Amino acid sequence: MSSQHTDQPLVSVYIPTKNRPQMLKRAIDSVLAQTYPAVEIVISDDGSTDDTPDFVRSLQEKHGNIVYLREEQSKGACHARNKAIRAANGKFITGLDDDDRFTPERIAEFVAAWHPNDSFLCAQSFNYTGKKMIPSRYYGRQISLAEIGCRNVVGNQIFADRQRLLEHGLLFDESFPAWQDYEFFTHIIAKLGPARRIMKRTYIQHTDHELGRITHPSRIRAGYRLFRAKHGHLLSKSQRLSLLVNMTLLCGRGASKRIRQLCWRNGNFYDLFRIYKSRI
């Protein structure tokens, strides 16, 4: 698929999905409402067993910029994302979860802000609880290994040069049961250099439902161990401690007790207490 707007680069938006057509409709509508005209939508279906295929095909009849990829059997969200990134036609790529949505100016803001020196761009966001919009916590504009080495300060979606990612083998690691986004962003920054944040809030993350939002502690711990094995050599001692505390907090129940145990085990009470306080 080529852009009909030859003076503007095509941007591909990939949306992984499975058995959530009503949420998917909201996500797609938010992309169709973009003020930026040269957009391709790549829907990557991870084995839906409901009416999602019929729904998407009905949209394809109305909109010529929708590409539909489908697996008969589920292979996981990371596989669905990677398949979409490889199949996309855009110069730029960005993602959207099927239960979230873009604000209308999101893609235009990214294209206007892009500089070839950026490894990727990200933006501020809102969390929608069903009752109110909660703005994301403020972080700095530049994101280097120093910033991302402690925890995910990016969010869950980025905007990047698609071909550059592929040339460097930068895709989601499908072996990770959790922390896939965080690992992906860290890997990109480690290979391509710092990323940059635009300060406008252009992504709305819906937390007004529980479907697919909660990760089991065992998967979080497994993701942490894989991350440490793959990227631990890039991190300072302080970053490794912060990452360990963050993982412990994400696991939920009993976090305070485990933090105290970490203090005794590591013998670094001040740093661990400071990191713990910054997370709560």
Q: What would the pLDDT profile of 210-260 be if each residue is shown by its tens digit?
A: 555 556 888 898 999 999 999 999 999 889 888 888 888 777 655 455 544
Architecture category of domain 11-206 in CATH: Alpha-Beta Complex (3.90)
Sketch the domain layout of the chain as residue ranges: 11-206, 217-279
Determine the average pLDDT of the residues in 6-26.
Answer: 95
Spatial contact of 150 and 242, defined as CB atoms under 8 Å apart? yes
Q: Which residues pair with 173 in a beta bridge?
A: none
DSSP 3-state of 197: strand
Determine the average pLDDT of the residues in 146-166.
Answer: 94
For a pLDDT cut of 70, what percent of the chain falls above it? 85
Determine the average pLDDT of the residues in 133-155.
Answer: 89
Positions of E strands within the chain: 11-17, 39-45, 66-70, 92-95, 101-102, 121-128, 133-135, 142-143, 159-161, 195-206
Q: What pLDDT, on the 0 to 100 scale, is given for residue 16?
A: 98
Determine the average pLDDT of the residues in 18-27.
Answer: 96
DSSP string, 130-177: SS-EEEPPP--SEE-HHHHTTS--S-S--EEEHHHHHHTT----TT-S
Determine the average pLDDT of the residues in 44-73.
Answer: 97
Q: What are phi and psi of 201, to 5 degrees?
A: -90, 110
